[in-house]
Structure 1
Amino acid sequence: MIDPVILVLTLVMVGQVLLSVPVLLGKVKHLPVNLPLALFLLACGVLAMVPIVRIQFLEEYQVFSALAFPTFLLLCPCLWLYVEGITSHQRWKPNRGHSRHFALLLPGLLVSAMMLFLSKEEHTALFIDDLDATTLIGIVVSISLLVIMVLWLGQCIYTTYLIARRLILYKKRLKDTFSNHEGKELNWLLFIAGSIWLLILSTAFYSNIMNSLLFNVRAEAVLSLLLIWSAAHYGLQQKSGLLEYEEESDRELCQGEDRLECNERAEAIKVNKIALAERENKKYQRSALSVEQANRIAIKMNEVMKTEALYLDSTLSLQKLSRHLTISPNYISQTLNETLSTNFFDFINQWRIEAAKPKILENKSTILEVALEVGFNARSSFYKAFKQEVGLSPREFRKQHCSSLKASK
């Protein structure tokens, strides 16, 4: 008889998948990046059913296990393709190059086919009683499973590395582009989902190879539920900030043009984006911007912040500042990075913090009200930026200043 707790947790997981996957698939036409996430959740849902089928539907378990095994091999590539797509500055679409991430799927399908040809007794011995294989096909299946599991664990480690590197680059590009990141940064739940996912995979691998459990079955079910819930919750609400920025730029460039001119401009933009992607790691190697020009741009940026207080606009972006100054975004970005040794995000927030200091000392408004007045979208981001710039929290800054005034008297 299956543990009632395991049964409830499994049903909740499957319910979450059944609710989330149709919604994600319904948005695939508009957001193709939802496809790999939907496949990832679907694979998680199938794997979540294994304990129930193994105990309650023993007669069908052989067919189900053969169908479920390849879903393991979908987890790594689907999660990576989703992260790749959601962090892209171009509209993501599946292509032939992505097929290399599914290299383990074909041998996995072959092993699944062989599992169907095992006798009931041999399948029970291998997958339920955990006994050694006694027939040739059983030995081949056992060895093949072991080899694929080892390769799969390596793929998981490599995928985690790819995701971490991608997120670091994405965060850097956000800082070079926006003055506020709310709704654009990848949700921290993704990191939790990735950690739980890797832990579950390691646990499953250890359990099968070492014939012992790192966690009990209930703990594994809870971890699986957290994984599915966080991935679904994150995926249903997350959008790519970089993609929205590029689409906004495209629309602005096409304003006032007829359809043909706009299409021609869109093609030119597409070619330019490809070139930019190829040069992503080659910072300004062939820029025509001279040191004298960069200094003039830096002076102009500081002057416009001082006189017009553009930093008060919470939606201020590199593109908006570029239009206001009639200077190329690339030149502004290069000036910030090389001349001022900062990025767009920190540059704007420095001005916001300076504007916030006298308001904090006046003590006439709450910290949240001050944050919103100077251009921040959230109290938490204001606290983080203030402490990074000043070395103190807003309250500590106010308290220190009051203490200094009392001491001087």
Structure 2
Amino acid sequence: MPFVTLLGPALYFYVRAMKARKPRRFAGSDWWVLSGPLLVVLIMLPFSQVSAPDKLALANPVTRDPDLFLLALTTRAAAIVVFSVFTAIYLIGALRLQFTHKVNVKRVYSNLEKRSLDWLKMLLAAWALGWIAFVFTDALWLAGVSPVGTGAISAVFEAVAFSAFAHIALNQPAIYDDETEHADTGADRQPILTEDHMTRITRKLDAAMIGQHLYKESGLSLRRLSDETSIKENYISETFSQHLRTNFYDFVNGYRLKEAASLLEDTDTNILNIAYDVGFNSRSTFNSAFKRLFGMPPSEYRNRQSAIAG
């Protein structure tokens, strides 16, 4: 149990390591990771003093000592509670890291593929389900109910979840978001630009998007837009957050989707080609973004527009 209690923190530190170019020093509050296993060890100490014959006698209702059996149940129950709470804290922490990372990525990139760590969120959810099943099985055992095969099923599920995690994680490119973590978003400080200044910046950004079709660059980033318009990145970020109430990702994709809608109405170009032409990297991302804005998938939108025109 002390070692199992370290699995949740291990996932948390893995997520944190995925996001940083330089390894972060293990220091400060990181050492609290040892509190869970140490607490489990302290909980198990009284039972560890019981002799081996007395422990073996607990397996048989006829030979077990009631007081020692109560100690065994209490020890296991307390260890499970510590495991559950400790694991939940670090799993929630890992999910928060993933969520914050995705929010930051949207501030500086126009495409999220291979950057948003959405795959990790799904695997963390799978791990959470596995551990819930583990705790539930233990709770049944503590209550005197032990369905046949539950232990094996739980073990197989954890083995499959671990194998899937290892396979996917080892094949993932490193996600470095030093740029996103240190980017001045404009939302975390007092505004320094006037409304008139942000209005002028908005016009200049619109001109770059419409005149130069920058949104068609699938790898368009905030830095690239800054270089092209000669506007400081923090000025653009402040304009997005304070004036336009949006982020870089949604701003750029707004132009892409508007262009895509026009192409769907006026041409019979393949939908996948349209997605690539306007700057998206995949059909699934395009479909999701299009449906979120227009309330229907691209194919349905095209059919409706054809029906209206006909």
TM-score bracket, normalised by the shorter chain, equals 0.7 to 0.9
Alpha-carbon spacing, 1:133–1:163, altered in 2? closer, same or farther (3 Å):
farther
Matched, 1:173 2:91: no
Q: Does the aligned pair in 2 maintain the 1:284–1:334 contact within 8 Å? A: no
Task: Give the structure 2 partner of residue 80 of structure 1.
Answer: 12
Task: Report the counterpart of residue 399 of structure 1 in structure 2.
Answer: 303
2:192 aligned partner: 288
How many Å separate the matches in 2 of 1:130 and 1:398? 72
Instruction: Name the structure 1 match of 2:77.
Output: 146
Query: Judging changes above 3 Å, is the alpha-carbon distance between structure 1 residues 203 and 297 closer, same or farther for their aligned structure 2 residues?
Result: same
Distance in 2 of aligned mates of 1:103 and 1:80: 15
Conservation of the 8 A alpha-carbon contact between 1:118 and 1:138: no
The alpha-carbon deviation at position 141 of structure 1 amounts to 5.9
The residue matched to 1:283 in structure 2 has which SS? coil
Q: Is the contact made by 2:275 and 2:286 (CA closer than 8 Å) also made in structure 1? A: yes
Partner of 1:395: helix, strand, or coil? helix
**SS at the partner of 1:103?**
helix
- My pick for the range that moved more, 344-353 or 219-228, is 219-228
Aligned twin of 2:126: 193
> How well do the aligned residues superpose, as a CA RMSD in angstroms?
3.2
Q: What one-letter code is carried by the residue in structure 2 that aligns with 1:361? A: E
Partners of 1:142 and 1:324 lie apart in 2 by 67
User: Could you tell me how far 1:377 is from its partner in structure 2?
Assistant: 0.5
2:242 aligns with one of 331, 334, 338 = 338
Distance 2:90 2:146 in 1: 24
Q: Are positions 1:226 and 2:160 aligned together?
A: yes
**Higher relative contact order, structure no. (Cα contacts within 8 Å, ≥ 6 residues apart):** 2
Residue identity opposite 2:129 in structure 1: I
The aligned residue for residue 95 of structure 2 is 164
Residue type of the alignment partner of 1:325? T
Partner of 2:136: 203
Quote how far apart the aligned CAs of 1:385 are: 0.9
Q: Is the 8 A contact 1:360 1:394 kept in 2?
A: yes
Any idea what SS the aligned residue of 1:288 has? coil
The gaps in structure 2 that reach 5 residues or longer are: none
Task: From the superposition, tell whether residues 125 and 346 of structure 1 become closer, same or farther in structure 2 (CA, over 3 Å).
Answer: farther
Map 1:51-62 onto structure 2 (within 5 A).
none
Is the partner of 1:183 in helix, strand or coil? coil
CA offsets, 1:41-84, max 9 Å, x none?
xxxxxxxxxxxxxxxxxxxxxxxxxxxx3212112221222233
Q: Post-superposition shift, 1:145?
A: 3.7
Indicate the residue corresponding to 1:58 in structure 2.
Answer: none
The partner residue of 1:328 within 224, 232, 250 is: 232
Tell me the percent identity. 24
The one-character-per-residue Cα deviations of 1:306-350 (angstroms, maximum 9, x if unpaired) are: 011111111111122122222222221221122112111111111
- Shifted more, 187-196 versus 114-123: the winner is 114-123
Q: Does residue 368 of structure 1 match 2:253?
A: no
The 1:90/1:335 distance shift into structure 2, 3 A limit, reads farther
- What is the deviation of 1:117? 5.0
Structure 1 residue 304 corresponds to structure 2 residue 208: yes
Is the 1:178–1:345 contact (alpha carbons within 8 Å) kept by the matching residues of 2? yes
Q: Answer yes or no: is the 8 Å Cα contact 2:137–2:150 preserved in 1.
A: no
Unaligned runs of at least 5 residues, structure 1:
1-68, 247-271
* CA 393–133 in structure 1, closer or farther in 2 if over 3 Å, else same: same
Q: 2: distance between equivalents of 1:369 and 1:130?
A: 71
Offset of residue 394 of structure 1: 0.9
Instruction: State the match for 2:3 in structure 1.
Output: 71
Instruction: Give the structure 2 partner of residue 243 of structure 1.
Output: 177
Q: How does 1:375-390 map to 2 (within 5 A)?
A: 375-390=279-294
Name the structure 2 match of 1:3: none
Moved more, 86-95 or 169-178: 86-95
Change (3 A) 1:354 1:122: same
> 1:212 is matched with which residue?
145
Aligned positions of 1:3-42 closer than 5 A: none
Offset of residue 97 of structure 1: 2.4
**2-structure distance, mates of 1:87, 1:204:** 35
TM-score, normalised to structure 2's length? 0.84
Distance, in Å, in 2 between the alignment partners of 1:217 and 1:337 is 51
Instruction: Tell me the secondary structure at the aligned position of residue 382 of structure 1.
Output: helix
Is the 1:355–1:374 Cα contact (8 Å) retained in structure 2?
yes
Q: Is the 8 A contact 2:43 2:79 kept in 1?
A: no
SS in 1 for 2:3: helix
Structure 1 residues 201 and 80, CA gap change in structure 2 (3 angstroms): farther
- Aligned CA distance change for structure 1 residues 195 and 146 (closer, same or farther; 3 Å): closer
CA shift, 1:301, in A, is 0.8
